[in-house]
Chain A
Amino acid sequence: MKKEDTVKLISAEGFEFVIDKKAAMVSQTIRNMLTSPGSFAETEHGEVTFPEISTTILEKICQYFYWSLQYASGKETEFHIEPELTLELMMAANYLHT
């Protein structure tokens, strides 16, 4: 895995999640950021900051990205979501078009 093939997502509290670009592209919003040159300066450095998404939620979202890739390649498992995260997670998913 090359550094160029990854993207760093930064949470509200400044925690960093380094994930494959391919996984991040599960999110239509991040895909747009990564594929539209010029409009999002931070994506040139492979970093996207989400000041409105908490660390716990952002990690859950990253797990979802990878789960989604696994699901797409035929591994049918459940994606577990803790009930107390549901509301915040849905708001973030809505924002990320995920």
Chain B
Amino acid sequence: MSQPSRPKSPDDQTAMYIRVKRNKTTYFLQCVPSETILQIKEKLQELIDQPVNDQRLILMPNREVLDDSKSLADQKVENDAVVALTLRKDDNEFEEVNIVRPNDFYQSRETDGGF
């Protein structure tokens, strides 16, 4: 793995990224610490076609529900953080956090195997 080098320009969009996870999908989002959760949800809306109001973001592993009006820095969301995405269901409630990990998947496949 090579190490590139270029002039410094802090505060640009490469400043940090977060990993937004739901089921078997991970979205890598570039962001800056001063961005609000609402702005993050607006970015997600572009990707997943789900309105901002139907999204809930939860900081892992402590499962703190993130507040729309606060910034990433305010809520201690750091570079490379994992954030769970849950969506509003038909009954208006939000679904439970569901992040599938590869090991879980192997286990479930073994149990599905019927042997």
A70 to B14 Cα, complex, angstroms: 5
Whether the Cβ atoms of B1 and A1 lie closer than 8 Å is: no
Point out the residues of chain A lying under 8 angstroms from B25, CB to CB.
15-18
Q: Count A-side interface residues using an 8 Å CB cutoff.
A: 33
CB of B113 closer than 8 Å to a CB of A: no
Q: Write the residues of chain A forming the contact surface with B, with a CB cutoff of 8 angstroms.
A: 1-3, 6, 11, 13-20, 23, 54-56, 59, 62-64, 66, 68-75, 79, 93, 98
Residue of B nearest to A54 (CB): B102
Given A18-B25, A66-B14, A70-B79, 17 extra CB contacts under 8 A: A1-B29, A1-B30, A1-B47, A14-B24, A15-B102, A16-B25, A18-B26, A23-B28, A64-B1, A70-B14, A70-B16, A72-B5, A73-B6, A73-B8, A74-B8, A75-B10, A75-B14
Chain B residues whose C-beta falls within 8 Å of the C-beta of A73 in the assembled complex: 6, 8-10, 12, 14
Known contacts A1-B46, A74-B9: A93-B26 contact under CB 8 Å: no
Interface: B43 (CB within 8 A): yes
Given A13-B102, A73-B8, residue A1 in contact with residue B43 (CB < 8 A): yes
Q: How far is the CA of A14 from the CA of B108 in the complex (A)?
A: 14
Q: Is the CB of B26 within 8 A of A68?
A: no
Q: 21 A-B pairs, CB-CB below 8 angstroms? A: A1-B43, A15-B105, A16-B24, A18-B28, A20-B28, A23-B28, A56-B102, A59-B26, A62-B28, A63-B80, A70-B14, A71-B4, A72-B5, A73-B6, A73-B8, A73-B10, A73-B14, A74-B6, A74-B8, A75-B14, A75-B15
